[in-house]
């Protein structure tokens, strides 16, 4: 899972904002370039080029030497001032200043930026001459020019179009990166209604979408797995019902046959009658055994079932278990080897059920091996666990059976002989160990023997 791949939506938002600002600045640059291009053209105007020298030329030393008509033609005007107030104006006054303070006269040049200003004293009269300066004249020229106005509007429209197109391209690229994975996800979700196979989304987008992709794919694979497990469980249920029917049907058919023969007085000889009754008894015993095993298995398998756990000395428990099977082992001429520590090691166990679980393993060793086989029962103390070892040096179990040995109704004898076990013994054992939160492992080799390691948590 590579979640580092791709940018996050947050960083993309930041990048897009930066791109938007860059585009905006670019728009401003384009607009002002276009504007200055026009201004440069106007500046080329000779009339304007000469402006500065003209203005200086117009401002004479004495008021009487002023060329008033020239001043007026340059857009200037002359104000007559009395007691600080404008009393008369020659030409068109373009500013709104009608009163002057003493400070206005001290630094008048810097104060009136739009207009070049000079003051003249003529007798007791004071005159102020104002001529628009270069910048003011340039602005007036641009505004007065009809083409200039259209040019500015066109420049604005052009800049707006360029900026909008760029914004649109950026937006389309971003939206496509979002809409593409959403479309893929939508398609796969629609496909899911037909099953979980072949469902997988593959795209490379922003971090958040890549995370959704990983989560989606992992959920789908989990669903697919559980679907398969459901199918396997369904198959195993079917197989179980088939095997139960088979195992029960065989003795029932025999009982039906023998009892019918007796009812129909087919068997007249007293000895034969006894043999027939013996058959019926044995077959009934077999049915009883199968039903008992089935009952135990379904009891352990039911969801509400809980063990009756108690703190027990597991070494003592094992010694008592060996004693319980000792006669069986002796009678069948098996050799017994025991290695159980003398100390007390405690574990939480359900004595009755653990006895059943381990008893199944010991019974199997006796049931499936020849006399003279050695059975070893031992206990190893581990850090957190106790390991109970039950081992024999008997016939062993073939590899193909071993992998499903703990499944229900699995028997090494494929023909399912009616005198064999139920095939439920080790399934019951595993269930009990699992209910103890323990673990069971089998190791077997044909001709060498079988070993079970059962681990339970120590307390």
Return residues touching ligand ADP (CB under 6 A): 360, 364-365, 368-369, 392, 394-395, 397, 405, 410-413, 420-427, 450
Closest by CA to 105, choosing from 88, 115, 92, 118, is 118
3-state secondary structure of 383: coil
Q: Which is nearer to ligand ADP, 55 or 397 (CB)?
A: 397
H helix or E strand, kind and range, residue 304: none
Please state, in angstroms and rounded to a whole number, the distance separating the CA atoms of residues 178 and 206.
8
Minimum gap (Å) between residue 364 Cβ and ligand ADP:
3
Contact 71, 129 (CB under 8 A): yes
Q: Which is nearer to ligand ADP, 76 or 423 (CB)?
A: 423
Question: What is the smallest separation between the CB atom of 391 and ligand ADP, expressed in angstroms?
Answer: 9
Lookup: tokens for 122 = 């003529």
Are 321 and 434 in contact by the 8 Å Cβ rule? The answer is no
Report the nearest approach of ligand ADP to the CB of residue 269 (Å).
36
In terms of CB distance, is 193 or 400 closer to ligand ADP? 400
Closer residue to ligand ADP (CB): 315 or 410: 410
Number of CB atoms found within 10 A of residue 350's CB:
18
Distance in Å, CB of 355 to ligand ADP, minimum? 15
Residues 6+ apart with CB under 8 A from 216: 185, 188, 201
Strand residue runs (E) in 350-397: 374-381, 385-392
Give whichever of 155 and 364 is closer to ligand ADP, judged by the CB atom: 364
In the bound state with ligand ADP, the residue whose beta carbon lies nearer, of 17 and 288, is 288
Min dist. Cβ of residue 449 to ligand ADP (A): 7
Q: How far is the CB of 408 from ligand ADP (least distance, A)?
A: 8
The vertex-132 CA angle with 131 and 133, nearest 5°, equals 110
Nearest to 221 by CA among 192, 183, 181: 192
């Amino acid at each position: 899972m590579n979640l580092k791949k791709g940018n996050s939506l947050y960083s993309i938002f930041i990048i897009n904002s930066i791109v938007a600002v860059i585009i905006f600045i670019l728009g401003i640059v384009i607009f002002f370039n276009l504007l200055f291009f026009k201004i440069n053209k106007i500046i080329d105007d000779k009339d304007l080029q000469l402006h500065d020298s003209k203005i200086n030329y117009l401002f004479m030393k004495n008021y009487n030497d002023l060329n008033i008509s020239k001043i007026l033609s340059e857009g200037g005007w002359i104000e007559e001032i009395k007691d600080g107030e404008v009393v008369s104006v020659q030409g068109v006054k373009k500013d709104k200043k009608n009163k002057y303070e003493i400070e206005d006269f001290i630094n008048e040049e810097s104060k009136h930026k739009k207009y070049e200003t000079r003051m003249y004293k003529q007798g007791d009269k004071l005159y102020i001459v104002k001529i628009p300066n270069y910048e003011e004249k340039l602005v007036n020229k641009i505004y007065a020019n009809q083409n200039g106005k259209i040019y500015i509007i066109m420049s604005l429209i052009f800049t707006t179009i360029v900026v909008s197109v760029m914004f649109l391209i950026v937006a389309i690229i971003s939206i496509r990166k979002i809409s593409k994975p959403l479309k893929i996800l939508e398609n796969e979700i629609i496909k899911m209604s037909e099953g979980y196979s072949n469902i997988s989304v593959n795209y490379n987008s922003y971090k958040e979408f890549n995370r959704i992709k990983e989560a989606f794919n992992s959920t789908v694979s989990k669903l697919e797995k559980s679907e398969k497990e459901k199918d396997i469980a369904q198959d195993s249920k079917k197989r179980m019902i088939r095997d139960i029917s088979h195992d029960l049907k065989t003795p029932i058919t025999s009982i039906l046959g023998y009892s019918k023969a007796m009812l129909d007085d087919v068997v007249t000889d007293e000895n034969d009658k006894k043999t027939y009754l013996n058959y019926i008894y044995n077959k009934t015993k077999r049915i009883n055994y199968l039903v008992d095993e089935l009952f135990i298995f379904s009891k352990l398998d039911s969801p509400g079932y809980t063990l009756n756990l108690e703190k027990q000395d597991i070494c003592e428990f094992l010694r008592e278990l060996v004693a319980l099977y000792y006669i069986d082992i002796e009678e069948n001429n098996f050799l017994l080897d025991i290695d159980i520590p003398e100390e007390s090691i405690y574990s939480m166990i359900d004595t009755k059920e653990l006895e059943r679980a381990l008893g199944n393993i010991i019974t199997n060793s006796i049931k499936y091996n020849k006399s003279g086989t050695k059975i070893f029962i031992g206990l190893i103390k581990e850090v957190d666990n106790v390991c109970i070892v039950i081992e024999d040096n008997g016939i062993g179990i073939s590899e193909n059976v071993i992998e499903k040995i703990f499944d229900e109704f699995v028997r090494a004898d494929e023909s399912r002989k009616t005198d064999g076990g139920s095939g439920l013994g080790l399934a019951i054992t595993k269930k009990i160990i699992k209910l103890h939160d323990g673990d069971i492992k089998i190791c077997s080799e044909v001709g060498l023997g079988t070993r079970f390691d059962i681990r339970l948590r120590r307390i």
